[in-house]
Structure 1
Amino acid sequence: MFMLAAHSQLNLHEIELELVHVRASRYLSAAGYVLLLYDHLLTLQDEVKLIWPGPWSLVKILFLINRYSVPLVLTINSWEMSGFTGPNSTTVSTHHMFLIVVYCRRWVPIEGYIEITSLGVSNFLLLLRVHALYGRSRRVLVFLVILYGLTYISILVTATLALVHMIPRLSYSALAGICSVSEKPVTLQAVWAAPLGFEIIIFVMTLHKCLEHAKTQQLQAPILRTLYRDGFLYFLVIVVMRILNLALWIVAPVSLIYLGLYFIWALITLLISRLLLNLRNVSNHTQWSAETDIKGLSIMQFAPRADIDKVPKSKAPVSSTGFTNSTRLTDVMEWSEEEAEDRPDFDPEERRASKRRQQEPDVEVASLDEDMEMGPIRRGTTRHFVVDETRP
């Protein structure tokens, strides 16, 4: 949906300028749509390998909903913005125009709430990542949930007020070939400002924890490096884009305020998918499910690599995650395959001796001397005493 002022109130130059703005918005939205689809194809193999066979979890459900619903909605939006959704001239029946206006007044609110929900899912996944980095701290979780709730309650309230104001004023511009409105609701500024504040706080918390891990040399864990690298890239790109979009909303003319709307939506969806898929040290879907679940990563305790370096190589476990003390079955440490090839898992002589001991009768010989010291009872069997008659 784009905003276009009423043509009757504009001169020819202003109409031409607004059409240029609409064309620029179309191209930028199309660029975001194509970029999202292209990245989806690039990462589809990783998705099939890491996510599809894995057990269902909240993170997996949210990931798949966001990954497939956004391209679908942006496909409909691209069709609506293409100019082929309605008549391209003003010579159209009143009934036909009425149906097009009804479409605009129904689709615009639906699309708006879907976008708010999608961006909310993305920020919720960010919330889980920060909660994990803070060791699943209950205080951090309470703070983040309250912050998240206040943010999206304010977004929903302001968006609803703005839509109530906009819907009666929505119409169809036959000249531009899109749904249009002649004024922008001021309350929609909060829809951009609120998530920007949330993401800045998330960024500051992530940076604080990164500095702590750097001081304790815990950034050597590959999964930590991946999380911080992708997280900082996400925040840098999204915060800059949100600031630009908020500035456009405040100072730009009505025909430009949605210049980056759909591009940012596509970009956020792309980056949040990359953020979860780029756990480069995770090699199979079981590990991915454990490390990206609500409890999976957050219950792991980050330990310096120096603690493991003190263990002999033959007995040093190799963790696929870089974390220790996990309570999940899928996070159990795996033994190095290289060590397994260098030496056998058992000593043949020791195994043969063990078999001989197992074949011996569960009878022990004890002398009648003094207090008769008795050895340990093997396998919890009944103890028998045999008198050695050969002794004088």
Structure 2
Amino acid sequence: MATLPEEIMFIWCRPKATSAVLFLVNRYLAVLGNIVALISNFLPVSPKVCSKYLLVVDVLRFLQQIFICLTLSLRTYALYGRSRRLLIWMGIIALVLIAGGLAGTFGDDSDAGVDAGDCHEIYTTATTVRHGMAWMAMFIYELLIFVLTVFRAWKTRGLRSSLISRRDILDVIFQDGVMYFVGMTLVNLPNILTYFCGPEIIRGSLGTFTTCMSVTLISRLMLNLHGCVDTGIFSTSAETSPDVLSTRVDVEFSVSSDHW
């Protein structure tokens, strides 16, 4: 609700670019996932129905992480001048990590239980490791995107200049990318530690919060980007200076700084 005015201004009232579509899918898939999670937590259900609810929640959360990775990849692809080589390598790494995440999230040894009407997942030792590795896969990909973003900013202009200014899209992507990675690190690392180091009662207890934070941060990140350029990350403008990003990105801000 806090960012709804910006969403209407920058997303709904403009032509739907690829990044805008990803924003909408990511934002409202999260709403659907949270509704299903609330239903499973508070409605009295049988163990059989509970397992189905948990499966739907896991699928929706997994899809949310996929769309977040797509959004981060799209930004990085734009930063590197739509480099096909980089896109192929990111795709290969993403597929490997997705395979690991699938094995972790939907392993055969996960179980569900019902306690006093509360539908929740029971983590055995094997299940705990699987789910922890799934979150590790997401963290590794976010770290890769962060390193690529920092390297591009340093190579193009220098980190100091990108940190203290917001002159163009590069500065916006770099600063927002740094804040996203720092925020997710502070949230995701404790979440991962609950799987590997925490007692049984807190295993996976931060999973929902971590998912909500990742969706919230990536949504804020994309709104900032659309506040700078109408078409999102990509622009068909042929007048973009190659000295800025060496890619077809509109570097002119379309709104004044008071929107920040």
User: Per-residue deviation at 1:227?
Assistant: 1.4
Q: How far is the alpha carbon of 1:79 from its aligned partner?
A: 4.1
Maintained 8 Å contact 1:151/1:195 = yes
* Partner SS state of residue 172, structure 1: strand
Task: Give 2:119's aligned residue.
Answer: 178
SS of residue paired to 1:292: coil
Distance, in Å, in 1 between the alignment partners of 2:124 and 2:225 is 45
1:48 counterpart = 2:8: yes
Q: Match for residue 137 of structure 2?
A: 194
TM-score (norm 2): 0.83
Matching of residue 247 in structure 1 with residue 193 in structure 2:
yes
Q: CA deviation at 1:152?
A: 0.8
Once the 2 structures are TM-superposed, how far is the Cα of residue 324 of structure 1 from its aligned partner?
Answer: 8.7
Alpha carbons 1:151, 1:194 under 8 Å: kept: yes
Check the 8 A contact 1:80/1:178 in 2, yes or no: yes
1:269 alignment partner in structure 2: 215
Residue 203 (structure 1) aligns with: 146
Count of aligned pairs: 247
Partner of 2:36: 76
Deviations 1:202-239 (A, max 9, x none): 11111111111224998463322221111100001112
Deviations 1:223-260 (A, max 9, x none): 22221111100001112322221111001112101221
Counterpart of 1:149, as a letter, is: L
* 8 Å CA contact retained: 1:135, 1:300: no
| Structure 2 residue 230 is the aligned partner of structure 1 residue 288 | yes
Aligned-pair identity in percent equals: 23
Task: Give the one of 99, 115, 121 matched to 2:67.
Answer: 121
Residues 154, 301 of structure 1: alpha-carbon distance in 2 compared, 3 angstrom cutoff:
farther
Q: Check the 8 A contact 2:36/2:53 in 1, yes or no.
A: no
- Give distance in 2, aligned partners of 1:134 and 1:156: 29
Quote the offset at 1:266 in angstroms. Answer: 0.6
Superposition pairs of residues 103-114 of structure 1, within 5 angstroms: 103-114=49-60
Instruction: Indicate which of 103, 109, 120 corresponds to 1:165.
Output: 109
> Would the aligned equivalents of 2:40 and 2:50 in 1 still touch at CA under 8 Å?
no
- Give the TM-score of the pair, scaled to structure 1: 0.57
Runs of 4+ in 1 over 6 A off after TM superposition: none
Shift of 1:274: 0.7
2:256 maps to: none
Structure 2 unaligned regions, length at least 5: 254-260
- Give the unaligned 5+ runs of structure 1: 1-40, 87-98, 305-322, 335-392
Equivalent position SS for 2:114: strand
Q: Which amino acid in 2 is paired with 1:177? A: D
Decide which structure has the larger Cα Rg and report it: 1
> CA–CA distance in 1 between the matches of 2:56 and 2:194?
23
Judging by fraction of residues, say which structure has more helix. Answer: 2
State the distance in 1 between where 2:7 and 2:70 align: 20
Q: Could you tell me how far apart the structure 1 residues matched to 2:211 and 2:159 are?
A: 37
What's the C-alpha RMSD, in Å, of the aligned pairs? 2.9
Offset from partner CA, 1:50-80 (integer Å, 9 cap, x none): 1113333432222111111212221332343
Partner of 1:66: 26
Q: In the aligned structure 2, how far is the partner of 1:296 from the partner of 1:78?
A: 43
